[in-house]
Structure 1
Amino acid sequence: MKFAEPLEGRKLSFLLEKAASREARLWTVYVPKKPSNQDTDISPAQRDEAVRWLADVHHQLKLYPETLCLAISMLDRFLSAIKARPKYLRCIAITCFFLAAKTSEEDERIPALRELIGCSKCGCTPSEILRMERIILDKLNWDLHTATPLDFLHIFHAMVFSCKAVQSGSVLSGLNRSQHLALLTQELLHCLSHNALLSVRGSMLALALVTLQLEKLCPDWLALTVDLLRKSQIDSLQLIGCRELVARCLSTHSASLPPNTVYICHPLRPPPSEPWGSRGLPPWHLPVALTPPPPLPGSSHRDQSLPCDPSLTSDDAAARSFASLPLRRKPSAKRKVEQMDVDEYFDGIKRLYNEDSPQEGGSSPCPALQPVTAS
């Protein structure tokens, strides 16, 4: 089976090898314990509830899927390293989410701490989250850039669709690659909220999701699966067992494309019972047509009025007055914005060099610039 260009294949292989090395260095098996009588351990059901709660917060803030996956990965790493009480679980989870947002999101998209507290309703104070943040960073050795299952999902998905056999065939049933990856991402997030898959590595989970989709869509799915197993160095028996767990987990899940709202501008149309008027004018222009223009300066109202003709009806007069209006070209919105930007730019320069209006006392509010002298 022929794959894409060697350069692209080498890049994907390098990314896969790099992600696998980070996973081997940082990933540990988190085995949740059943709660004891003293209620000192976090149960598997409580962990899953915390993950689903983080998913709801993520949906409200509309952040990247990478942020949620990294937060879940940090939460599992932290819970596998320490023994925490259930009453601290929400504080731990929202702190992991805050750290993941600061790691994955753009600066302008990172929610403020008070905004995050109000949106999540976690019941924590900013000082408690900041103290928990320091504890989590210490336990994770300040190393948050672990390879998440979503990283492997992106790599495996790109490897599959770089195959010419997949490119030539319409195997996605009307979906493009981005939409198909969005559906796989939703399935992955659903699987991450089930503690039955906690003992599965992220690379194994991502490969199981991709191969299950290939089995439904591509006739040559087995050859592609063998090639991915060879590149990822994953045991085939372990993949078979993981596929069974994933299929059982997805049996109650129905994935759908995320909303992508598109606004379409439709021109106004008159109602069927109201045609364009007797003179072919739109109804929203009739008030303008019935209003005479104001007199020009230096001229009398008689000069601007229409000649009096008793044979003209009121509709004819309105039409002629509308036709006599001067045509003025409406300035472009783009030109207005450009002019405003240029004006603000030069106003800023004037204020910087005190060239605008003279200040009181004739001095600038900023100290004068001094030349730099070499010492």
Structure 2
Amino acid sequence: MDAFKLMKELRVNYEQEAHYLPKETGLSLIESTTEDDSRISAKCRDAKVEDLWSLTSFFGYSTQTFVLAVNLLDRFLAMIRIQPKHLSCVSVSCLHMAAKVTEEECNLAPTGDLIRIGQCRFTVSDLCRMEKIVAEKLNFKSKAITALTFLHLYHQIALSHSTDRKEKLSLEKLEAQLKACLCRISFSKAKPSVLALSVLRQEIEGVRSEDMLEIAYHIQRHLKITDGELLLWSERVARCLSDYASPECSKPNHKKLQWIVSRRTAQNLHSYRVVPELPTIPEGCWDESESEDSCEDMMSSGEESLSSSLGSDAEGPFFPLHLRRQKHRQPLHA
């Protein structure tokens, strides 16, 4: 796609992004909720998003699937007040809905496998009912404009201006950094176009390319993003990535994702899932005897995170070391 078409597509997506934003009032309500409240808290939401990242890695799903799932989850949580015990069902439903849109049918994990590996207590029937509820409330059909939409366009625009930038500007790194940001609910308040550009700027600062910085500035002017808005979110992205790069941060732990499943679960998985090398946990981790028609009260309630680490792509090299000791931010072009 040539540069003109890319810029035109960029503008079209920019004009439509507001339709896919979570309600800010709903997000603020979640952020203000305390841990002992009966509503979903920010910490609880963030933990479930980390679990979605882990599930995405385990089943080999794309970044697009993860980002769409988080978008659906945040929009639903910002619109509908749910009890914490139903959060697992909602989050996994969003992941399954996203995968059905973005993944090839042959790569879709069977619903039962998704529930078992997710160590969830709800049933297939619960999941199907929840998917219908989410789809109806969000009027979801087949797409959403997310920060990843813009990140891919920005990356293509940058590469379209020169062929020697492929070694410097890694889309894989940019995607990993975006996923790290999405694990914090505060970034759900950012416009997708601004969040993606903020992530891009951090990577550009890391490679110290004046040419690419000029491209980022050209994109900013084209979309009429103000300096103040971009500076605000660039600083927040920098702090987030700095936290992930810090040795004091417990996640990511720079190890490949390790899943814990029982022998019974492993035997029930399809043969194409690689599970024999995984460690086991006690057989009582989930109850196979639950009926397919269990009521909503039997849905999972407040389970701990599935893994102490995020996806295997959340490793040190993807979180720039230059952010650890960076104290001063470079001013944006006027």
TM-score, normalised on structure 2?
Answer: 0.68
Aligned twin of 2:279: none
Specify which structure has the bigger relative contact order, considering alpha-carbon pairs within 8 angstroms and separated by 6 or more residues.
2
Deviation sequence 1:19-56 (CA, Å, 0-9, x none):
22331222133322433698331100001000001111
Equivalent residue of 2:210, what SS? coil
Aligned twin of 1:19: 13
Q: Does 1:60 align with 2:58?
A: yes
Q: Is the 8 A contact 1:191 1:197 kept in 2?
A: yes
Equivalent residue of 1:198, what SS? helix
In 1, Cα distance between the equivalents of 2:36 and 2:142?
32
In 1, Cα distance between the equivalents of 2:9 and 2:254?
27
From 195, 202, 207, give the equivalent of 2:185. 195
One-letter amino acid matched to 2:53: A
Deviation sequence 1:227-269 (CA, Å, 0-9, x none):
011222211210011000000000022499999xxxxxxxxxx
Closer/same/farther in 2, CA of residues 253 and 75 from structure 1, 3 Å limit: same
Equivalent residue of 2:2, what SS? helix
TM-score, normalised on structure 1?
Answer: 0.61
Q: Does 1:152 align with 2:143?
A: no
Aligned twin of 1:209: 199
Equivalent residue of 2:78, what SS? helix
Aligned twin of 1:125: 123
Closer/same/farther in 2, CA of residues 207 and 78 from structure 1, 3 Å limit: same
One-letter amino acid matched to 1:66: Q
In 1, Cα distance between the equivalents of 2:14 and 2:255?
29
Aligned twin of 1:283: none
Q: Does 1:238 align with 2:232?
A: no
Aligned twin of 1:141: 139
In 2, Cα distance between the equivalents of 1:74 and 1:37?
23
In 2, Cα distance between the equivalents of 1:181 and 1:192?
16
Q: Does 1:229 align with 2:227?
A: no
Alignment root-mean-square deviation, CA: 2.4
One-letter amino acid matched to 2:77: L
Q: Within 5 Å, give how 1:358-369 maps onto structure 2.
A: none
Deviation sequence 1:205-230 (CA, Å, 0-9, x none):
11001112222320234422320112
Equivalent residue of 1:253, what SS? helix
In 1, Cα distance between the equivalents of 2:46 and 2:145?
21
In 1, Cα distance between the equivalents of 2:188 and 2:231?
16
Closer/same/farther in 2, CA of residues 243 and 122 from structure 1, 3 Å limit: same
Q: Is the 8 A contact 2:76 2:134 kept in 1?
A: yes
Q: Within 5 Å, give how 1:1-375 maps onto structure 2.
A: 8-28=2-22, 29=24, 30-31=27-28, 32-35=30-33, 39-164=37-162, 167-168=163-164, 175=167, 180-217=170-207, 218-254=209-245
Q: Is the 8 A contact 1:34 1:42 kept in 2?
A: no
Unaligned runs of at least 5 residues, structure 1: 1-6, 260-375
Closer/same/farther in 2, CA of residues 37 and 11 from structure 1, 3 Å limit: closer
Closer/same/farther in 2, CA of residues 108 and 73 from structure 1, 3 Å limit: same
Aligned residue pair count: 245
Deviates more, 1:117-126 or 1:43-52: 117-126
Closer/same/farther in 2, CA of residues 228 and 69 from structure 1, 3 Å limit: same
Deviation sequence 1:99-135 (CA, Å, 0-9, x none):
0010100010111111111111121101111111111
Shift of 1:11: 1.6
In 2, Cα distance between the equivalents of 1:248 and 1:33?
18
Closer/same/farther in 2, CA of residues 38 and 64 from structure 1, 3 Å limit: closer
Aligned twin of 1:340: none
Equivalent residue of 1:234, what SS? coil
Equivalent residue of 1:81, what SS? coil
One-letter amino acid matched to 1:27: L
Q: Is the 8 A contact 2:48 2:88 kept in 1?
A: yes
Q: Is the 8 A contact 2:65 2:103 kept in 1?
A: yes
Shift of 1:144: 4.5
In 1, Cα distance between the equivalents of 2:32 and 2:19?
28
In 2, Cα distance between the equivalents of 1:207 and 1:244?
12
Unaligned runs of at least 5 residues, structure 2: 246-251, 257-334
In 2, Cα distance between the equivalents of 1:212 and 1:33?
26
